[in-house]
Amino acid sequence: MNRKIKLFDIGEFGLIERIRKGTATQPDVVLGIGDDCAAVVLPATDLLLTSTDLLLESIHFRLDWTDWFMLGRKCISVNVSDIAAMGGTPRYITLGLGLTKDHPVDHIEQFFAGVGAAAKDYDVALIGGDTCRSPGPLFVAVTILGSVPPDEMISRAGAHAGERLYVTGTIGDSALALALLQRGERPPEALAQRHHNPAARTLIGRELARLHLATAMLDISDGLLGDLEHLLTASAVGCRLDGRALPLSKAFAASLSNDPELLNLALNGGEDYELLFSSPAEKAVAIEQLSATTGLPITCIGTLLADPAARQMTDHLDRAFDLPAKGYNHFCD
């Protein structure tokens, strides 16, 4: 008999036991999976950071486009990215999982292998969660706990007029991969990786905080313009983006040369998980050095303006125009 073992066969506690066995013990985790709560030790003087993300089948992912391992990785990366965006250190994750009872156990094990691989990459521990049977789509609820010294935390609200606006890495790759998938095309591997296996910028986020290089920061999850809007509103400043400076990957630039409309994906596409931050001009050299030591581009893409209503952009001929704010909105799009 070659029937796959289903969740039904091992039950909830069998599943939890399999997950528990896959987690490493570490001294700061006083109680891990298996009690009413997990109990952990945090650095005494740090602030506790936390963020929750929901990921739903058919809304946030499709299992015919990704695999269970990659999905597990991505669920952790997108949540860790929120800690990176505060300049913090990610430490612990809890995971809620809504599954049908017909899911083969080996899929769930691949999912947790992906979770475990990401946890190892980011040095975070899975300490708890909940599982239940869902009559609807597969869904994942991830909560990350991290910490940051109080004087190093970077919110969205600290930017000032005259400062520069920077973005890490390249933008639009994930959205372009998704657009190709939606058209039934196979995206180039470099783009597909950016969509299915994004990397949280924890090292750069932490260094920007430790070295006090950023005055406001967030991660780009809803698209550059949408997330930029959050930074501008929170900091009460305006901006002028330099359209020629937008950092694009080779794969993205190649597609763009065939279809100029794709620029919209770099501006409004989501799931870049790059960091967008403001910084005073005198920190520019230190930021260049950080880019050099981490091997990741950090690009100045504009300037912050005193007029909080200003939303300008210059095109390839340096002509300024007003740009509309737009991001992904879960209940309206």
Shortest Cβ 107–a second copy spacing (Å): 14
Of the two residues 160 and 230, which places its CB atom closer to a second copy in the complex? 230
Shortest Cβ 260–a second copy spacing (Å): 30
- What is the distance between the terminal CA atoms of the chain, rounded to a whole angstrom? 47
- Residue 121, exposed/middle/buried by CB under 10 A (0-12, 13-18, 19+)? middle
List 4, 13, 26, 307, residue binding a second copy (CB under 8 A): 13
Cα–Cα distance, 103 to 44 (Å, whole number): 42
Say whether residue 218 binds a second copy (CB under 8 A). Answer: yes
Quote the tokens at residue 103: 């899911």
Span near a second copy by CB under 8 A; candidates 169-177, 255-263, 277-285, 325-333: 325-333
Of the two residues 51 and 255, which places its CB atom closer to a second copy in the complex? 51
Residue 122 near residue 81 (C-beta atoms within 8 A): no
Shortest Cβ 150–a second copy spacing (Å): 7
Residue 36 near residue 134 (C-beta atoms within 8 A): no
Say if strands 29-31 and 125-133 run parallel, antiparallel, or are unpaired: unpaired
- Residues numbered 22 to 51 that lie near a second copy (CB under 8 A) are 30-31, 34-42, 44-45, 47-51
- Residues numbered 219 to 238 that lie near a second copy (CB under 8 A) are 219, 234
Cα–Cα distance, 70 to 307 (Å, whole number): 43
Shortest Cβ 331–a second copy spacing (Å): 5
- The contact mask relative to a second copy for 82-121 (x = CB under 8 A, - = no) is xx-xx-x---x-xxxxxx-x--------------------
Shortest Cβ 329–a second copy spacing (Å): 5
Query: What is the per-residue burial (b if ≥16 Cβ within 10 Å, else e) of 233-246?
Result: eebebbbbbbbeeb
